[in-house]
Amino acid sequence: MKHILTDIEGTTSSISFVKDVLFPYARRALPGFVAAHGHEPAVRRWLDQVAAENGGLCQDEMIVETLQGWIDEDRKHTALKALQGMVWKDGYGRADFTAHMYPDAVEALKAWHAAGQAISVYSSGSVPAQQLFFGHSDGGDLTPLVSNWFDTEVGGKREAASYRRIVEALGVPASEVLFLSDVVEELDAARDAGLGTVLLDRREDYPQPRTGEATHGHARAESFADIRP
């Protein structure tokens, strides 16, 4: 494999960091963020999209409530993800938290990069949120390891067409890309597009091992140390 494509939550990083630290932070900070920045075009664009999709909500307070509901449901909506990224920027900037990275992921990403393997990221988090995450991680600034960043602007993670677009953007044959994820439906879509796949089945995130039929036939690893690209 010449190119690694990795998911973040549940793959390089723990689900609990995202659910218990990042999401509650965004939930709390959204009202103040929208009040302070809602007039800026880069923010307004996403607020207006949420309003339009919800029958033309007219008050920012209602838009914020909608977004907070989506956070509670873990909706992977592009507008929510873009706004979350903007909110988290303050948190990282003030060193309220650093992004969790499993030590085995840090070690492997560094080793693969040093060996000349290209590494890209595909996450539901917006590209700016991904870059903040890797830039302020427990393992330090890991952004120099990553050559390309993809979010749901390329399409949903459970759709094969998204992986075809990614492969086209990377300019390599699908068979030379290895996608790493904790979600079998994402891996199914990547496999349909011709990519190699590995299911990350970390005990910290998935206490019940997913084996046999539960892997949908994907190679399975409990740590990046088990992956041989």
Ligand X SMILES: CSCCC(=O)C(=O)COP(=O)(O)O
State the residues that interact with ligand X by CB under 6 A.
Answer: 7-10, 18, 22, 76, 81, 84, 123-125, 129-130, 133, 157
| By the rule CB under 5 A, 151 interacts with Mg ion | no
77 torsion bin: left (phi>0), alpha (psi -120 to 50), beta (else): beta
| By the rule CB under 5 A, 9 interacts with Mg ion | yes
Which residue type does 153 have? E
Instruction: Estimate the crossing angle of helix 78-93 against helix 60-73, to 10 degrees.
Output: 90
Which lies closer to ligand X via its Cβ, residue 130 or residue 197? 130
User: Which partner, ligand X, Mg ion, none, binds residue 14 by CB below 5 to 8 Å per kind?
Assistant: none
Which residue type does 31 have? P
Contacts of residue 8, defined as CB under 8 A and 6 or more positions apart, other chains included, come to: 121, 123, 125, 130, 133
Question: Minimal distance in Å, beta carbon 50 to ligand X?
Answer: 16
Question: Minimal distance in Å, beta carbon 9 to Mg ion?
Answer: 4
Residue 199 carries which DSSP code?
E
Q: Which stretch binds Mg ion (CB under 5 A): 5-13, 46-54, 112-120, 137-145?
A: 5-13
Which residue type does 73 have? E
| By the rule CB under 5 A, 201 interacts with Mg ion | no
Residue 162 carries which DSSP code?
H
Q: Which stretch binds Mg ion (CB under 5 A): 35-43, 61-69, 96-104, 178-186?
A: 178-186
Which lies closer to ligand X via its Cβ, residue 39 or residue 203? 203
Which residue type does 195 have? L
User: Which partner, Mg ion, ligand X, none, binds residue 18 by CB below 5 to 8 Å per kind?
Assistant: ligand X
> Which residue in this structure is represented by tokens 């393997």?
117
Query: Of the candidates 10, 91, 125, 155, which one interacts with Mg ion according to CB under 5 A?
Result: 10
Q: Which stretch binds Mg ion (CB under 5 A): 19-27, 70-78, 162-170, 177-185?
A: 177-185
Which lies closer to ligand X via its Cβ, residue 9 or residue 59? 9
User: Which partner, ligand X, Mg ion, none, binds residue 76 by CB below 5 to 8 Å per kind?
Assistant: ligand X
Q: Is 85 exposed, middle or buried (0-12, 13-18, 19+ CB in 10 A)?
A: buried
Binding site for Mg ion (CB under 5 A): 7, 9-10, 182
